[in-house]
Structures are given as C-alpha cells and as structure tokens.
Amino acid sequence: MHFYSKHKLVAGIVLGFLLLMLFVSCKQKSIYHEYQPVKPGGWHADSAAVFSFAIEDTTETYRILFNNRNLESYPYRNLWLFVEIMAPDSTVIHDTLEYQLAKPNGKWLGEGTSGVYDTRLIYLDNVYFPLNGNYTFFVKHGMRNQKLKGISDFGLSVEKNEE
C-alpha cells in the first residue's frame, strides 16, 4: 500500500468516526421528533396535528420547536397557530402564536430545495416540565382559510438544552 493510500484510508476512518460521533451526540439531545403529513387538499382549520411524548426527568430544561414544511406555493409570509398542551394531570394550557415564514420581499426563511422549505420555529426554550408522564400537544392553524394550502408537513421536536 502506498503512503498516499494509507493516509487516505486513515483520513476516511477518522472522518467516519467524527460523523458517527456527531450523529450520536445529536440524537441524545432530541427526546422527541415527529412530522405529520398534511392532506393534499389542505390543512383543515378543525384538524389538529397531535403530538404526544413522555417526560421522565423534571429537572432538565428543554427546547420545544415546531417544524414547518411548506411549498413554494404557500400564499402567505406568516403562519398563525392555536396550541393546546395537555399535561399528565389533564391540565390544559392554550396559546396563540404567529411565525414569520418569509421576508417582506418574499424570500423564504427556511432551508429549501425543489420548492419545499423547512423552517424550525422555536416555541419555548429553557422550559421545565413539572410532572413526569405524557404531554400531548394539539396544534391547529389559525389562518383565515378553512383549508390552508401549501403546508406539506408539520412537526414537533423536543430537545434537552445543552449545559
């Protein structure tokens, strides 16, 4: 084996190891991640995206993000959301949110290819969950359209905050 080939092999092994470590460390931070597809006819105003996950450690702080995947044909710059959170003791919290998906000039804020744009929307950061158990999020769009077109998928991520 030539000197160049040995270094190329070692560099490949080191790069593979670093990528594996990056993948493993990112996975440990996320405790929940799910996307739900929106029906091709549009996201009906009465239809909630429902996400449920378990919290086991009430001493940790978390970041909660909504993940929106919209098409280039989405007709608005923003997205209004109605959120209900049900705690393990059946307590319900209601929230109304507005997120910007595009700049005033129409340039999408999310990352995209082939006319589909992913946007991570921070909902809560450094939040504690006071009870162990299952938390359920119900998310409806709050736009004026009964059927909101141009959203292909909507998701929720819950991550442990880094220390």
pLDDT in tens, 98-134: 999 999 999 999 999 889 999 999 999 999 999 999 9
Structure tokens at 99: 């997120």
- The pLDDT confidence band at residue 49, using thresholds 50, 70 and 90, is very high
Q: Please give the C-alpha separations between residue 40 and each of 134, 140, 158, in angstroms, as whole numbers.
A: 30, 16, 27
Structure tokens at 104: 């005033």
Structure tokens at 93: 């919290």
How many Cα atoms occupy the beta-carbon half-sphere of 13 within 13 Å? Answer: 6
Q: Residue 29 pLDDT > 80, yes or no?
A: yes
What is the pTM (predicted TM-score) of this model?
A: 0.80
Domains and CATH numbers, the chain: 31-160 (2.60.120)
Percentage of residues of the chain with pLDDT beyond 70? 82
3-state helix, strand, coil in the chain (%, to 5): 15, 50, 35
The confidence score (pLDDT) of residue 114 equals 87
Cα 158 to Cα 75: distance, rounded to the nearest angstrom: 28
Cα 161 to Cα 61: distance, rounded to the nearest angstrom: 6
Cα 145 to Cα 79: distance, rounded to the nearest angstrom: 11
Lowest mean pLDDT among 18-32, 80-94, 100-114, 121-135: 18-32
